[in-house]
Amino acid sequence: MKISALAFLFAATAVFGQSIEIGAPADGATVKAGSALVVEVDRPDTITGSTEVAVVIAVRSCVGSPCPSPADVLGTVLYNGGYNPMFHTNVTPSKPPYQNLTVTIPANLAKGPAQLNVAHVTLIGAGPFPFLETRNVSLNIV
């Protein structure tokens, strides 16, 4: 039992060290339909070995009803491709590795509340094992 608990603790630590955050846009940002948007995807530095597979960035209108969890429905896919977070020298030393990806908000997206969703896939450890997570921020489409 002690070995299982220790293995679980190690796996949980490895996973949380690989988790991403959306560095930009800020939650609640106002974005014009049809405009370009820079999405900053941050990933904390880690000592656990990992291989980045991909990120998917999508947007979903929330006009008329609450948005579902991005784990269930991503919305209109704006980017589906590689993810290579890197340290940058022109930022504060505490800034984690990140990658900026520029997407275009669809011109026909309904005005009002929306959700920007990011799905992240990585392989963790020597095994390795697959890890999938989703993050989101709210947007106001004008």
Neighbours of 90 (CB within 10 A): 5
Q: Which of 11-15, 24-28, 94-98 has the lowest mean pLDDT?
A: 11-15
Total-model pTM: 0.86
Break the chain into its structural domains and give their ranges: 2-141
* Backbone dihedral angles phi then psi of residue 133, each to the nearest 5 degrees: -140, 160
Q: Contact, 31 vs 84, CB < 8 A?
A: no
User: Tens digit of pLDDT for each residue in 29-62?
Assistant: 999 999 999 999 999 887 788 999 999 999 999 9
Say whether 17 sits in a helix, a strand or coil: helix
Mean pLDDT across 114-125: 96
The dotted CATH code for 2-141 is 2.60.40.10
In angstroms, the CA 24 to CA 6 distance is 36
